[in-house]
Amino acid sequence: MLSEEDKKVLMQKGEDCFIDAECFFNRPFKRPIYQFDQRGKVAATAHLQRNMLRFNPILYCQNKDEFIQQIVAHEVAHLITFSLYGKVRPHGKEWQKIMQKVFTLNAKTTHSMDTKNVQGKLFLYHCLCTEHPLTIRRHNKVLKGVQYRCKKCQSELTLKII
C-alpha cells in the first residue's frame, strides 16, 4: 500500500510529463486516472482506451528513483502516443520519438529492477532439452488443457514431479 505522499509524487511526475508534452506539441492532453494496484513483475502499465496508468506499489517503494526518472514518463508516453497516433506498435517509432524528443530519455522498453520480492510461485516444467519455470497463470492454463512447447526442441512441456 502506498502512502498518500508517494501517490502524490507519482501523480505530480505524471503531470510534469503531460505539461512537457503539451508544450512540445502545443496542444492539451486529457489527464489519466491513476491506480496503484499493479501486481507481479510489471512496474507499471498504461491502459490506452481507459486513459489509465497503473503502478506497482512494491516495486515503486524499492525503486523510487527509477520510477521518477524513467517509468512514469515511459507510461505517459504510451498515453501521449495513443492520443496523437491512435493504435500503433507499443514501443514503435512514435513512442520512441516521444521518449527521446519530448522527455529526453532513452526509449527503454523494459525495466531492470530486481523482481524477486514480487515474483509469484513458479512451477518447474521440462521438455526434452531443458527445464522451464512457468508462472502460476501458465500452470493453471496447462491444467485447463493449454499446451506449451519448447522453442528450442519443440517438445511439449510437462510438469516436473519432484
Catalytic residue ranges: 75
Q: How far apart are CA 82 and CA 47, in angstroms?
A: 10
In degrees, rounded to 5, the angle at the alpha carbon of residue 105 between the alpha carbons of residues 104 and 106 is 135
> CB of 113 within 8 A of CB of 143?
no
Q: Taking the C-alpha atoms of 47, 96, 87 and 141 in order, what is their torsion angle to the nearest 10 degrees?
A: -50
